[in-house]
């Protein structure tokens, strides 16, 4: 109504009214009314003067109409400082700092003098780009025109020097400022904390107080954020609590978020969630950054229930539920916590996905081993015009590697290479691990060559991946060579070489390396112990195992289930069943692995009924077994001749737990029946299997033929084994021994000849003894290794 009833006979009054309306449009973000005003100006032939044009431009800039704003700006015949300020503020707000700087130079060339609104935007652009050269040029220009900046301008200059890494210049500039307000002091404090120079930051606060300026919330938040970001959770918490005891102000949302986000980013996930819980209880409403940090902590800890609770809170708050940052964190959370279907639903609910959304979803599919879904989503992503980046490929390569599908991981690695994208250390580490899984030594060597040719530093991640790859491909000597060439050896590298030696049968070397690691002052972790304990198990080195156990207690690692489960296994394999059971009974919280290992210990020593009784106790507690539970239980029945119990539990898988027996359980039943001499039943059982028998099935039958000296049936089993595992020396040796036991010496000799023809070699025999608290191993053809 106002627009249609305006009197156009008084141009000056008309311009003032239009300007007033446009100012309200800008404040209310009312773009529609702004368009109407612009249209009215054109229809009524009102001259869009410099003043009115600036107001109209401000509306377009403020409401985010980038193309309209730029088009109008370029068409303006006269552009004053307000026009330049509006357009530069728009680009700076959008993060287009390069364009902001270009506009500044264009403004100067047109002879328009910048003011105290323009300079801060240019210095901010230089800060974000860390472009000291341009920032210094702008500063020199400002001095050349004799511009006396206000506190805001000086603060932006100070911030530019700091973010461009010129702390010494920043300090000198700061000292030259005559009147320093709290804004200036806070920039200096934040500068020091961002560089990790906390003593200087605290000294700065002390000087600040002496100068009569009182620290405010921003000051305290800078200290809390700095300590939290650098991983010093205790110090951050200390200042957070001190802030809570102040009279003038208390921790605000920024304080809480700084502590939560910094803690989560540095691995203090439990602490981050604890702080988040306190924050909610105190009635402080979180923002998207707080929520995303809390969800990430749940992701890192695989806390499905806690993450769902946070998601439920977000659903109740519309601005959080629709936030992109929150949405991406939830997609990542559900995907990594193996709830891929929920992740996909949340992904579909995000109104405008970005690259982070797609990367999170793809990584989730990879972690679950969903190969086809990952390919389809990658195609859909490209169709949407979003190109994959290095994080996309890293998520796919490392995700499939972690799932155990090395073949799929290498497929995506080669896709990435075919697109001309160079891998980084994360990609290389994931690809090397995949090569180890599929035993692709050729590709592993090619990747190693790529690392050397491109002078990529052998970081601990790449170094440990190379060690694992070579050892996984039966090239332990090369793995040891890589280890010796590494200049930096952290706990990950040591764990890799210890695990490599233990898994390759070099248990003595593994224990020697553990001793050397301890002397190198590298702090062990749970993975170290889990890697070293199997070496004691293979050597039946009970004394060394006990020493490691004592070391675990001294290090305070005896509450970790991973380690306690490994100790149960180690003592069991060393024949100390009572010690295994004692650790099992004293565990504060047993997981499924604990029960499985204890059942296995009873089984391997022929205590089948103890294994059965333990399983019955397991069931009375309402726990649910998995395939490994039944494999260990059936194996225990087999070693104790418990045929009826074996059949009972084999059938129980389907009837009570709706679990289809896998080939491992079928192999156990073959072992059970054939050990008992029930060969007809065994063959009938094999014929009725729902899938082709594998080497484990025929190997069980062959082993039983040795026990019962049945060379004819052994020949039948061996034919399949020689096809399935043509290079496995154990099968040939076992068949030869069965012939020898039956007095069929010529047939035994033929097997030995067959081994030579096929190039199958038997690993040299190895024995070890302990002399003066040292283990010495003796290998055929080698004097000794210790």
Confidence band (pLDDT; 50, 70, 90) for 538?
confident
Over residues 137-162, the pLDDT tens digits come to 999 999 999 998 889 999 999 999 99
- Residue 368 and residue 238: Cα distance in Å, rounded? 41
With residue 774 as reference, give the H or E element that holds it: strand 774-779
> Closest by alpha carbon to 784, among 773, 772, 769?
769
Instruction: Examine the pLDDT at 89 and tell me if it is beyond 70.
Output: yes
Confidence band (pLDDT; 50, 70, 90) for 48?
very low
Q: What is the per-residue pLDDT for 343? A: 92
Across 546-558, average pLDDT? 82
Q: What is the per-residue pLDDT for 510? A: 85
**Is there a contact between 166 and 130 (Cβ–Cβ < 8 Å)?**
no
- Determine which of 24-38, 111-125, 580-594, 706-720 has the lowest per-residue pLDDT on average: 24-38
- Determine which of 79-83, 151-155, 295-299, 499-503 has the lowest per-residue pLDDT on average: 79-83
Average pLDDT, the chain: 86
Across 702-706, average pLDDT? 90
Q: What is the per-residue pLDDT for 643? A: 93
**Is there a contact between 467 and 500 (Cβ–Cβ < 8 Å)?**
yes
Any residues with CB less than 8 A from the CB of 497 and at least 6 apart, and which? 467, 479, 480, 483, 513
What percentage of residues in the chain have a pLDDT greater than 90? 56
How is 616-635 classified by DSSP, letter by letter? HHHHHTT----HHHHHHHHH
Q: What is the per-residue pLDDT for 77? A: 73
Torsion angle defined by CA atoms of residues 52, 53, 59 and 62, in that order, rounded to the nearest 10 degrees: -130
Any residues with CB less than 8 A from the CB of 201 and at least 6 apart, and which? 189, 192, 193, 222, 223, 226
Instruction: Examine the pLDDT at 725 and tell me if it is beyond 50.
Output: yes
- Residue 216 and residue 204: Cα distance in Å, rounded? 14
- Residue 636 and residue 498: Cα distance in Å, rounded? 30
Across 518-538, average pLDDT? 82
> Closest by alpha carbon to 153, among 135, 131, 129?
135
Q: What is the per-residue pLDDT for 767? A: 58
Q: What is the per-residue pLDDT for 169? A: 95
> Closest by alpha carbon to 129, among 95, 175, 156?
95
Any residues with CB less than 8 A from the CB of 655 and at least 6 apart, and which? none
Query: Cα Rg for the chain, rounded, in angstroms?
Result: 36
- Residue 429 and residue 368: Cα distance in Å, rounded? 19
Torsion angle defined by CA atoms of residues 185, 186, 188 and 189, in that order, rounded to the nearest 10 degrees: 120
Over residues 580-628, the pLDDT tens digits come to 999 999 998 889 999 999 999 999 999 999 999 999 999 998 889 999 9
Across 473-496, average pLDDT? 90
Across 309-327, average pLDDT? 90
Across 293-317, average pLDDT? 91
* Higher local confidence (pLDDT), 541 or 360: 360
Instruction: Examine the pLDDT at 45 and tell me if it is beyond 50.
Output: no
Q: What is the per-residue pLDDT for 11? A: 45
- Determine which of 7-16, 521-530, 555-564, 574-583 has the lowest per-residue pLDDT on average: 7-16
Q: Where does 688-710 have alpha helices with state H? A: 695-708
* Higher local confidence (pLDDT), 51 or 565: 565
Instruction: Examine the pLDDT at 236 and tell me if it is beyond 50.
Output: yes
Instruction: Examine the pLDDT at 774 and tell me if it is beyond 80.
Output: no
Q: What is the per-residue pLDDT for 761? A: 73
* Higher local confidence (pLDDT), 71 or 629: 629
The vertex-190 CA angle with 188 and 195, nearest 5°, equals 100
- Determine which of 29-38, 321-330, 545-554 has the lowest per-residue pLDDT on average: 29-38
Instruction: Examine the pLDDT at 3 and tell me if it is beyond 50.
Output: no
Q: For 525-548, b where at least 16 C-beta lie within 10 A, e where not — what string?
A: bbbbbbbbbbbbbbbebbebbbbb
CATH architecture of the region 662-785: Alpha Horseshoe (1.25)
Q: Per-domain residue ranges for the chain?
A: 662-785
The vertex-479 CA angle with 475 and 480, nearest 5°, equals 120
Confidence band (pLDDT; 50, 70, 90) for 305?
confident
Torsion sign, CA atoms 308, 310, 315, 321: negative
Q: Which whole-number Å values give the CA distances from 727 to 478, 584, 663, 724, in the listed order?
A: 22, 39, 22, 9
pTM above 0.75, yes or no: no
- Determine which of 524-538, 577-591, 739-753 has the lowest per-residue pLDDT on average: 524-538
**Is there a contact between 251 and 240 (Cβ–Cβ < 8 Å)?**
yes
Over residues 16-41, the pLDDT tens digits come to 555 555 565 555 454 455 455 545 55
Instruction: Examine the pLDDT at 124 and tell me if it is beyond 50.
Output: yes
Q: What is the per-residue pLDDT for 55? A: 61
Q: What is the per-residue pLDDT for 760? A: 76
Any residues with CB less than 8 A from the CB of 75 and at least 6 apart, and which? none
Question: Three-state DSSP class for 40?
Answer: helix
Instruction: Examine the pLDDT at 68 and tell me if it is beyond 60.
Output: yes
* DSSP annotation of 691: S
Any residues with CB less than 8 A from the CB of 17 and at least 6 apart, and which? 2, 6
φ, ψ (nearest 5 deg) of residue 58:
-60, -35
Question: Three-state DSSP class for 569?
Answer: helix
> Closest by alpha carbon to 450, among 483, 484, 416, 473?
416
- Residue 605 and residue 601: Cα distance in Å, rounded? 7
**Is there a contact between 58 and 86 (Cβ–Cβ < 8 Å)?**
yes
Q: What is the per-residue pLDDT for 786? A: 43
Q: What is the per-residue pLDDT for 724? A: 87
- Residue 387 and residue 456: Cα distance in Å, rounded? 26
- Residue 220 and residue 647: Cα distance in Å, rounded? 69
Over residues 160-190, the pLDDT tens digits come to 999 999 999 999 999 999 889 999 999 999 9
Instruction: Examine the pLDDT at 633 and tell me if it is beyond 90.
Output: yes
Helix axes 627-640, 643-655, angle to 10 degrees: 160
Instruction: Examine the pLDDT at 468 and tell me if it is beyond 60.
Output: yes
Q: What is the per-residue pLDDT for 27? A: 54
Instruction: Examine the pLDDT at 631 and tell me if it is beyond 50.
Output: yes
Across 729-733, average pLDDT? 86
Q: What is the per-residue pLDDT for 777? A: 57
> Closest by alpha carbon to 563, among 586, 532, 519?
532
């Amino acid at each position: 109504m106002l627009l249609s009833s305006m009197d156009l006979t008084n141009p000056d009054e008309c311009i003032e009214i239009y300007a007033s309306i446009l100012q309200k449009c800008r404040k209310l973000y009312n773009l529609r009314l702004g368009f109407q005003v612009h249209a009215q100006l054109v229809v009524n032939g009102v001259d869009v003067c410099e003043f009115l044009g600036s107001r109209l431009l401000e509306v377009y800039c403020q409401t985010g109409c980038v193309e309209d704003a730029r088009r109008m700006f370029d068409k303006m015949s006269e552009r004053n400082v307000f026009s330049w300020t509006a357009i530069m503020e728009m680009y700076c707000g959008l993060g287009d700092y390069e364009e902001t700087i270009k506009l500044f130079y264009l403004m100067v060339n047109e002879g328009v003098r910048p003011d105290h609104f323009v300079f801060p935007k240019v210095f901010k652009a230089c800060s974000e780009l860390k472009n000291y050269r341009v920032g210094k040029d702008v500063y020199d220009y400002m001095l050349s025109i004799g511009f006396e900046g206000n506190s805001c301008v000086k603060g932006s200059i100070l911030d530019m020097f700091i973010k461009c890494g010129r702390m010494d210049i920043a300090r000198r500039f700061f000292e030259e400022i005559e009147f320093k307000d709290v804004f200036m002091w806070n920039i200096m404090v934040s500068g020091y904390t961002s560089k990790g120079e906390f003593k200087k930051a605290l000294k700065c606060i002390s000087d600040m107080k002496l100068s009569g300026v009182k620290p405010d919330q921003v000051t305290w938040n800078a200290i809390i954020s700095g300590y939290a970001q650098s991983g010093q959770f205790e110090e951050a918490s200390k200042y957070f609590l001190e802030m809570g005891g102040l009279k003038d102000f208390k921790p605000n949302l920024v304080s809480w978020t700084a502590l939560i986000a910094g803690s989560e980013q540095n691995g203090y996930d439990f602490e981050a969630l604890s702080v988040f819980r306190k924050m909610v209880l105190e009635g402080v409403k979180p923002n998207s950054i707080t929520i995303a940090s809390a969800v990430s902590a749940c992701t890192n800890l695989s806390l499905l229930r806690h993450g769902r609770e946070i998601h439920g809170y977000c659903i109740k708050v519309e601005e959080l539920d629709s936030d992109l940052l929150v949405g991406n964190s939830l997609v990542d959370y559900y995907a990594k916590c193996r709830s891929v279907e929920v992740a996909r639903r949340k992904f579909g609910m995000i109104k405008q996905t970005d690259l982070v959304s797609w990367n999170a979803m793809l990584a989730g599919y990879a972690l679950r081993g969903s190969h086809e879904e990952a390919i389809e989503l990658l195609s859909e992503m490209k169709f949407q015009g979003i190109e994959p980046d290095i994080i996309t490929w890293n998520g796919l390569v490392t995700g499939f590697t972690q799932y155990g599908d090395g073949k799929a991981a290498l497929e995506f690695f080669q896709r990435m290479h075919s697109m001309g994208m160079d891998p980084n250390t994360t990609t290389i580490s994931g690809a090397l691990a995949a090569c180890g899984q599929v035993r692709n030594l050729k590709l592993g060597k090619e990747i190693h060559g790529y690392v050397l040719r491109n002078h990529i530093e052998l970081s601990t991640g790449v170094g440990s991946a190379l060690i694992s790859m070579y050892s996984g491909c039966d090239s332990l000597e090369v793995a040891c060579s890589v280890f010796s060439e590494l200049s930096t050896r952290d706990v990950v590298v040591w764990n890799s070489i210890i695990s490599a030696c233990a898994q390759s049968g070099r248990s003595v070397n593994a224990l020697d390396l553990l001793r050397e690691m301890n002397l190198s002052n590298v702090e062990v972790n749970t993975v170290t112990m889990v890697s070293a304990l199997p070496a004691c198990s293979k050597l039946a080195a009970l004394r060394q195992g006990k020493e490691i156990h004592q070391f675990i207690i001294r290090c305070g690692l005896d509450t970790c289930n991973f380690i306690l489960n490994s100790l149960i296994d180690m003592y069991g394999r060393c024949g100390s069943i009572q010690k295994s059971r004692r650790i099992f009974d004293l565990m504060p919280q047993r997981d499924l692995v604990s029960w499985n290992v204890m059942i296995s210990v009873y089984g391997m020593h022929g205590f089948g009924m103890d294994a059965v009784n333990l399983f019955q106790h397991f069931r009375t507690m309402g726990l649910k077994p998995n395939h490994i539970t039944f494999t260990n239980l059936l194996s225990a029945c087999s070693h104790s001749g418990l045929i009826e119990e074996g059949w009972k539990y084999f059938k129980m898988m389907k009837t009570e737990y709706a679990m289809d027996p896998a080939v491992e359980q079928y192999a156990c039943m073959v072992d059970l029946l054939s050990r008992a001499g029930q060969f007809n039943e065994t063959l009938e059982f094999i014929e009725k299997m729902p899938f082709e028998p594998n080497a484990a099935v025929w190997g069980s039958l062959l082993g039983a033929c040795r026990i019962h000296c049945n060379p004819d049936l052994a020949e039948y089993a061996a034919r399949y084994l020689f096809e399935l595992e043509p290079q496995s020396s154990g099968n040939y040796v076992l068949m030869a021994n069965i012939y020898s036991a039956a007095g069929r010496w010529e047939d035994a000799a033929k097997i030995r000849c067959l081994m030579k023809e096929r190039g199958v070699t038997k690993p040299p025999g190895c024995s070890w003894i302990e002399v003066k608290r040292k283990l010495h191993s003796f290998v055929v053809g080698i004097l000794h290794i210790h």
